[in-house]
Amino acid sequence: MGPPVTSFLPGPLKGFGVTFGTMFKPVNTELYPDKKKPTMPRFHGRHVLNRHPDGLEKCIGCELCAWACPADAIYVEGADNTEDERFSPGERYGRVYQINYLRCILCGLCIEACPTRALTMSNEYELADDNRADLIFTKEQLLAPLAPGMELPPHAMRLGDTKDYYRGTPAAHVMSGDVESADTQRIVRQQQSHSDVQDKAEGAKVTSPDEVAPVEGAEEVKAAAEVKAAGEASD
């Protein structure tokens, strides 16, 4: 099979051939921003700092997202919660949270590093601006809006203790308003059963070496080992 016919044509004719070949193809024009093309469900867009069902923040100020960021685009300052001012369950919360979208490459490594699922990525991709300072998003811009039933922090923990927030307390489902009474009772029973198992595991008595039952034949094995060691020492 010989070379194609176009290989014998000079360069300009090859270029015009590509032009004429595309003139009669249908035009694929995106009418953005009048008609926005929907993104894929797992698209990596602008970040969101999520909340618990009572409004407390999920971010605990651990800075793992900042350490995981390959572009050094995230800046976090943690602070301690107090009984008078509580912004998240547990001891600490993210007092300062900034993402520099001039550096961010939307890779998603930060959300993989987050231990509380506080940081997720939305489908929003319109991040262009004519001012560099406006592309540094602060905590107030990243926080998810308050949903019905949520209360603006600081406030006390409404869903129980810290463990309840991360185990999935039934109060979280009740506060969302979309759980029927039968489902609520089932969730409560499951939660109580899980709590009982955890309490038994945490309160189990540690058995001391003196309380361990001797294994059958263990004394004979120990005596044989001592005899062997004594013979090797005499040799």
pLDDT at 57 over 70: yes
pLDDT tens by residue, 20-45: 888 888 887 888 888 888 899 999 99
Q: Any idea how long the chain is?
A: 235
What pLDDT sits at residue 75? 97
d(CA 143, CA 49): 5
Model pLDDT for residues 188-219, shown as the tens digit of each residue:
455 455 555 555 555 554 444 444 445 445 56
Contact criterion met (CB below 8 Å) for 85 and 154: yes
Confidence of residue 19 (pLDDT cuts 50, 70, 90): confident
CA 193, CA 136: separation in Å to the nearest integer? 46
Nearest CA to 51 among 140, 163, 167, 150? 150
The residue that leads in pLDDT, 47 or 231, is 47
Q: Which residue has the tokens 């939660």?
A: 191
Q: Above 80 in pLDDT, residue 61?
A: yes
The pLDDT tens digits for 165-183 are 887 654 444 444 444 444 4
- What's the whole-number mean pLDDT along residues 114-134? 94
CA-wise closest residue to 167 among 194, 203, 147, 139: 194
Sign of CA dihedral 182, 184, 190, 192: negative
Task: Report residue 63 CA to chain centroid gap.
Answer: 13
The pTM for the full model equals 0.62
Put residue 20 in one of left, alpha, beta given phi > 0 → left and psi -120 to 50 → alpha. Answer: alpha
Predicted confidence (pLDDT) per residue in 136-162, tens digit: 999 999 999 999 989 999 999 988 888
What CATH code would you report for 44-188? 3.30.70.3270
Domain coordinates in residue numbering, the chain: 44-188
Q: Work out the widest C-alpha separation in the chain, in whole angstroms.
A: 100
What's the distance, Cα to Cα, between the start and end of the chain in Å? 87
Q: Is 86 exposed, middle or buried (0-12, 13-18, 19+ CB in 10 A)?
A: middle
Burial of 209 (0-12, 13-18, 19+ CB in 10 A): exposed
- The structure tokens listed for 96 are 């300062």
